[in-house]
Every structure is written in structure tokens, then in C-alpha cells.
Amino acid sequence: MNLRQLPLALALTVACVLPAQAQSLVELYDAARGFDASYQSAKSQYEANLSKAEQARAGLLPTVGLSAGVNRASIDNTQAGQDRSYGSQSATLSASQPLYRPANTATAAQGEKSVGVAQAQLQAADQELIVSVSQAYFDVLASSDNLNFVKAQKSAVSEQLASAKRNFEVGTATITDTREAQARFDLVLAQEIAAENDLRVKKLALDQLTGKTGAAPKPLAVPVVIAPVAPADVTTWVAQSEAMSPAVRQAQLGLEVARLETQKAQAGNKPTLDLNGSYNITKNNGTPSASQDYRTNVAAVGLSFNLPLFAGYAIQNRIKETLALEDKARSDLDAAKRGVAQATRTAFFGVESGLGQVKALEAAEASSQSALDATQLGYQVGVRINIDVLNAQTALFDTKAKLAKARYDVLLGGLKLRQANGTLTADDLNAVNALLAK
């Protein structure tokens, strides 16, 4: 086989073997979203946080209670000749509505902020799942490509070994050529065993992540065309991170919650005012001295005012504590912004570098192919030796493997760039899906 036709042949082979069971990146992500334990844990935590946020509003809403009681007494006084039993039944409906409780107001506001924190945490978990599935997906493709290249190299080395043996038998080559070809063939066999095991491990990792048995990613369509980074300005990506990054948003909400905690602490010096009401019904079946029945209805409404005067400096020290925690939250926000900005810049330049490597390796692949063709021709006419052909073959297949890996790294790097600045969503996988074989 002409080595120039190798990439197309490999793609056609994969397409013929896996037409029915191969899955796209989006399909495997959807499967992982319903199976991955880490994401399911994050989703459950999100739902729990929503319910916890609703609990914070309870301090602003009325409370209502119902109580009831029944008792019975019996008197047997032989001296007074008194033998009597009596009892009573009562029920009380009570309600209370906070009118002025600044601490409860701050707690309710904290609950609203915690909803935003929960959303940011779930978004971060979803982005991590997208990257994890993509990483496992491209790891399988890269390992599969590497195995195919090793097998193709084994076939080429095998042909070269057979040629060396024939030339030695007819006396046109030395035993050195045969032994060199045999040594290279044995090395390729070892590489094939390692590549097969690596592919097996990568597939198991993808299966564990998606919950599928024998998941088979679709390969990239040939020819592979990777779009450049857009926008091409790193400052735009960094600017987006401050508004979109879940990490920055969590830190920002953390600062706001810390400020509200300070307000709660300061509320310890403020009065509280509640509106209370109750309605009681008591039915008596006689008394110790009388036998008649009667009922009592009591309705009450009033205001409850409380003003703290001194609490052993607990409130003052609590305020100092919350102010220090507020400064900490502010520092955490600054650290989050700087960390996200640095991660975004690193990811951006990583993708830019990867695109440059892809172009360089594409040129190197063409050069290595031309060098191999020339070396094979030189070997046929006697101006090159067997080891030259073997080295040229190794260089070509090594370049092909590096090029395939570089392409996957660029595609994954684009997703990691969006994760770094917080804009990554499941829709971004559609652009990668468009590059896969149909």
C-alpha cells in the first residue's frame, strides 16, 4: 500500500467496522450526564441547596400552631361525703408574625444568594463533565490511531524484512540488513502490544464515565480542518471570565453573603418586634365544688418588643469576626479573578501553540513521506541501505501519530479554554461533532 493513502484507508477501515455502534461526542456526553456519579452527586447537592435557600425565608413568614389538652380528675372525700369527678378540654390556636427582625431579613437575603452559588456549582460540575467526556473520547481516538499506525508500521517493516532476506539470499545484501530489519520488526511488535493495552485501558475509562459497554467514538472526518480560535484576542477571553466564570461568580456571591453575615451580627444590637395572636377554647365539665358545665373562649392579640442591652460583649466580638471574614471573602474574590484570568491565558496560548504545531506537523508529515519515497527509491537503485528505509518509515509513522494527537489536543484545548473562562456549554460540543465522520 502506498503510505500516502494510509490516513484515508484507516478512516475507511474504521467507518466500515463501526457503522452501527459508533457514537458521537454529544451522544456519549448525554449518556454520561445521566450516569456519571460525580455529576449526579453535584445535581443532588444543587437540589438540596435550593431547598435550603427556601428555608432561609421562614424567618420572615408567620408561624401558626395548634395545641390541645384533655384532663380528668376525681375526688372521693369520705369525711365530707364528697364523691365527684370533673374535667376539662382545651384547644389553642396561636400565630406570630415578625414585624421587625433585621437578622431574619439578612438570613433570607443570604438564602437568595445561596441559590446563585448552587447554580454556579452545578454549572462548574457540568463543565467538568464535558471536559472529562471529551478527554476520554479523544484519548480513545488517539490510542486507536496510534495502534493503527503501529500496525501499519509493522506491515511496512515486515515487507522490508522480507526484502532484506531475499536480497541476502541472492547475494545483493549483507546479513546486517536482515538483522536490522528483524530488530526493528521485534521492536514494533512490542510497541503493538503496548498500544493494544493502552487502547483497552482508554476504552474502559470511557465506558466507566458514560455507562456504556464497548463505547466506540466516531473518528475525525478526513481531511481534518480545525478552525482557529475566535475571538483571536486573549483579552476578550479574560474579560468574559470575570462575568461568566462559575468560580468568580461563587467568590462574588461569597463576598455578598459575608457582608450580609456582618449585617446579621450588627442586628444583635437592634430591637425586634413581633405581632402575636391566639384564640383559646376551654370546656369545663364541673369543678371541685360545683357540677355545672361551662365554656370559656379567650382571644388575644398583641405586640412583643425585645431590646438587647448587654450580652457579655458577644455581639461586639461577633461583628469583629464577620468583618474579618468579609475581608477574607474579598481576598478570595481577588484570588479567583486572578486565577481564572491566568488559567484563561494559559489555555488560550496553549490552543494557539497547538494550532501552530498541527501546521508544522502537517508539513513534517508531507516531508517525511517525500523522504521515505526518496529513500525507498535510493534503496532500490543501491545508493541507500536498509537501515535508512527503516529509519524513514519510523520517522513517518511517528510524525503521523504526533499529528493525530496534536489535533485532538487542539480540539480538547478549545473546550478547556471555554471552561477556563466559564463560557463552556453543551452546545460547544456541536462544533466538535461537525468534524466527526458521518
pTM of the shown model: 0.84
What are the cell numbers at 134?
471529551
Half-sphere exposure of 201 (CA within 13 A, CB side): 7
Q: Hey, what's the cell of 55?
A: 428555608
Cell triple for 210: 458514560
pLDDT of residue 379: 83
Q: E strands within 340-410?
A: none
Residue with cell 453575615: 261
Reduced to 3 states (helix: H, G, I; strand: E, B; else coil), residue 77 is: strand
Cα separation, 398 vs 402, whole angstroms: 6
d(CA 10, CA 221): 11
The cell 468583618 sits on which residue?
Answer: 323
pLDDT of 80 reads 58
Give one DSSP letter per residue of 410-427, joined into a string.
Answer: HHHHHHHHHHHHT---TT
Among candidate residues 113, 121, 114, the one with its CA nearest the CA of residue 41: 121
- Specify the 3-state DSSP secondary structure of 107: helix
Spatial CB neighbours of 415, under 8 Å, sequence gap ≥ 6? 130, 131, 134, 424, 428, 429, 432
CA 38 to chain centroid? 8
Could you report how far apart the first and last alpha carbons of the chain are, in Å? 25
Domain 3-35+102-270+311-433 and domain 62-100+272-307, same fold? Reply is no
Residue 425 has phi, psi (to 5 degrees) of -135, 170
Angle value at C-alpha 22, between 16 and 27, nearest 5 degrees: 155
Closest listed residue to residue 31, CA positions, set 215, 158, 171: 215
- Express each pLDDT in 259-296 by its tens digit: 999 999 999 999 999 999 999 999 988 766 666 788 89
Residue 192 one-letter amino acid: E
pLDDT at 2: 47
Q: Kindly report, residue by residue over 223-244, the tens digit of the pLDDT.
A: 888 989 989 999 999 999 988 9
- CATH number for region 62-100+272-307: 2.20.200
The H-or-E segment that residue 75 falls in is strand 63-77
* Averaged pLDDT in 10-residue chunks for the chain of 438 residues: 46 45 91 93 92 90 95 74 78 96 94 93 95 96 94 90 86 83 92 96 94 91 89 93 93 96 94 96 78 86 94 93 96 96 96 95 95 90 84 92 95 96 94 90
- Return the CATH number of the domain spanning residue range 3-35+102-270+311-433: 1.20.1600.10
HSE-CB at 391 with a 13 A cutoff on CA atoms is 10
Ramachandran bin of 268, using left for φ above 0, alpha for ψ from -120 to 50, beta for the remaining angles:
alpha
Boundaries of every domain in the chain: 3-35+102-270+311-433, 62-100+272-307
Task: State phi, psi for 217 to the nearest 5 degrees.
Answer: -65, 145
Return the pLDDT at 370. Answer: 94
423 CA to centre of own chain? 13
Q: Which pLDDT score is estimated for 291?
A: 67
Q: Are 280 and 298 in contact (CB under 8 A)?
A: yes
DSSP letters along 161-184, please? HHHHHHHHHHTSS-HHHHHHHHHH
CA distance linking residue 47 with residue 121, whole number of Å = 11
Q: Strand, coil or helix: what is 219?
A: coil
Determine how β-strand 22-23 pairs with β-strand 216-217: parallel
